[in-house]
């Protein structure tokens, strides 16, 4: 998946737009243990490369 930008870090709003999810769904995703998000203070972030790897792994698991 290409995010189409030069961003290195994604915020929940970015992931929301990329996946077409609602705000609450995205924050639930960011709190999941298998999702590679990090929290700094009250803000959540995920690196683009970790997000892409997580998404690809989910695609592979759904193919089985």
pLDDT, position 22: 98
The answer, yes or no, to whether residue 63 has pLDDT greater than 60, is: no
State the Cα angle at 63 between 19 and 21, rounded to 5°: 15
7 vs 54 pLDDT, higher one: 54
* Tens of pLDDT, residues 10-58: 999 999 999 999 999 999 999 999 999 999 999 999 999 999 999 999 8
CA 63, CA 1: separation in Å to the nearest integer?
Answer: 16
pTM exceeding the 0.85 threshold for the entire prediction: no
Domain limits of the chain? 9-63
Sequence-ordered list of residues with C-beta below 8 angstroms from that of 22, at least 6 positions apart, any chain? 16
So what's the pLDDT on residue 61?
73
Query: If DSSP codes are grouped into helix, strand and coil, which group holds residue 20?
Result: coil
């Amino acid at each position: 998946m290409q995010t189409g930008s030069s961003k290195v870090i994604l915020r929940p709003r970015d992931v929301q737009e990329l996946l077409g999810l609602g705000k609450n769904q995205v924050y639930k995703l960011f709190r999941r243990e298998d999702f590679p998000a990090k929290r700094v203070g009250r803000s959540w972030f995920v690196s683009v490369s970790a997000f892409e790897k997580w998404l690809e792994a989910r695609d592979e698991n759904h193919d089985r």
